[in-house]
Chain A
């Protein structure tokens, strides 16, 4: 198993380590529910160094990315980010991505750990000689700071003027910056992005600076406020599910197009020649929402917790799909789930009753809106 630069820190903090996409990652430190609540009410620090960082650079990088991805990265203003998807020729999803325009001619593409090598290969093939594609994942650590008090936690890393600039980053904005930690300077890219449904930041930095930034984040709290705490990938999953965010491998799969999971809005058409998957996605878009699949939020009202793979049935017993993710929601106190359903058996209006097969028993579930927990439900500072 691969280890991040922060492996020793996790051990020292008493984390329970698990295999996650071939990486030995902390699943929890204090406990999933406690960590989940820390992020909803205060601030938590995540090691996400398993994620992939691929840079695309050059005067034609933006146009090349427009052809390689479903969105329009060339339209990003400097210092802005967008959620995107890379598809195959048939429009099937290969990975979901965050794309940052870090400099005029530099885009940072962040991929899931399990897909990084493939995304880097596909980008290199599709972009060819139009721009340079460099997979810098091995040299890059990623640390997320998430929660309503995250701006106070990150501001402590910077000199006053730069701290102001970081605090005033808008949602989906990013900047190249220099942190000042224990007298030494750390170059990083910091962005106001995340995967928890809370305000927060994600930092991309050289692996040899990861430990000092991590330690600084865990020890530089605001006087009188609870200190930031480390958060494992267990709580990351319950947080993202409450926020209704899809996970590749669960909700997102290569057999599905963005239109089958409610992400059609990020697909841009009329981008010119040579856009991968364009013909297939144009046809899929024209076919409408009554074909293919629908991703639906469920609240489990019966006894039991719906889990990945459980069957979903109409009240008359007909099997219409499967649960893609399900858990007990620590914030709401009841089980929630996302389900991949046959669109033609719908529609699935809010409040409709379905059934989930949990250990051979049909358990009642009600279609509910996502996100299950609205962003910043506890009170999010926005500057």
Chain B
């Protein structure tokens, strides 16, 4: 299955949807599938600063914990509070209701360091 063409991807399996100077980030379907049933998500507070390719939180499946690496730097505008009661959205709809954070983009040139959909699909093939 190919990844959505309008998104950018990191090698650590996060995606970014850019809307002006704001970005929504999440984890890819491939990552969600590898993790298995997600049961807990640990996200930074609104207002926190996150840095590209640095750990900003964690996602836990029944079996294991995985660090979340930010695909881009910025400050957190919103986090998906619905995940605290419905973390399974990450498995069911990783590019939609399973989103993690909305951030204000710190440095748009960082987007050039990310993969496009065909590049990401090649990485996970």
Q: Which residues of A contact B (CB under 8 A)?
A: 27-28, 31-34, 36, 234, 237-238, 303-305, 307, 327-328, 330, 335, 359
In this complex, the member of A234, A237, A330 whose beta carbon has the largest number of chain B beta carbons within 10 angstroms is A234
Contact A304–B40 (Cβ < 8 Å): yes
Contact B63–A237 (Cβ < 8 Å): yes
Compute how far the CA of A34 lies from the CA of B39 in the bound complex, rounded to whole angstroms: 13
Return B123 CB to nearest CB of chain A, in Å: 19
**Count of residues in B whose CB is under 8 Å from the partner chain:** 11
Residues of B within 8 A of A304 (CB): 40, 42
Contact A303–B42 (Cβ < 8 Å): yes
Return B60 CB to nearest CB of chain A, in Å: 5
B36 CB-CB contact with A under 8 Å: yes
Compute how far the CA of A34 lies from the CA of B60 in the bound complex, rounded to whole angstroms: 17
Contact A305–B63 (Cβ < 8 Å): no
B116 CB-CB contact with A under 8 Å: no
With both beta carbons as reference points, the residue of chain B lying nearest to A36 in the complex is identified as B62
* Smallest CB-CB A-B distances: 3 pairs: A328-B39, A32-B62, A33-B37
10 pairs, CB–CB < 8 Å, chain A vs chain B: A32-B62, A33-B37, A33-B62, A234-B62, A305-B65, A327-B62, A328-B39, A328-B60, A330-B62, A359-B42
Compute how far the CA of A234 lies from the CA of B6 in the bound complex, rounded to whole angstroms: 35
Task: Determine the main DSSP class of A at the interface with B.
Answer: mixed
With both beta carbons as reference points, the residue of chain A lying nearest to B84 in the complex is identified as A303
With both beta carbons as reference points, the residue of chain B lying nearest to A300 in the complex is identified as B40
Return A235 CB to nearest CB of chain B, in Å: 8
Contact A32–B58 (Cβ < 8 Å): no
Return A236 CB to nearest CB of chain B, in Å: 11
B52 CB-CB contact with A under 8 Å: no
With both beta carbons as reference points, the residue of chain A lying nearest to B60 in the complex is identified as A305
Return A2 CB to nearest CB of chain B, in Å: 21
Q: Which of B24-45 contact A (CB under 8 A)?
A: 36-37, 39-40, 42
Task: Known A-B contacts: A33-B39, A305-B65. Give 19 more (CB < 8 A).
Answer: A27-B63, A28-B36, A32-B36, A32-B37, A33-B62, A36-B62, A234-B36, A234-B63, A238-B62, A303-B42, A304-B42, A305-B60, A307-B65, A327-B63, A328-B39, A328-B62, A330-B62, A335-B40, A359-B58
Contact A305–B39 (Cβ < 8 Å): yes
With both beta carbons as reference points, the residue of chain B lying nearest to A327 in the complex is identified as B62
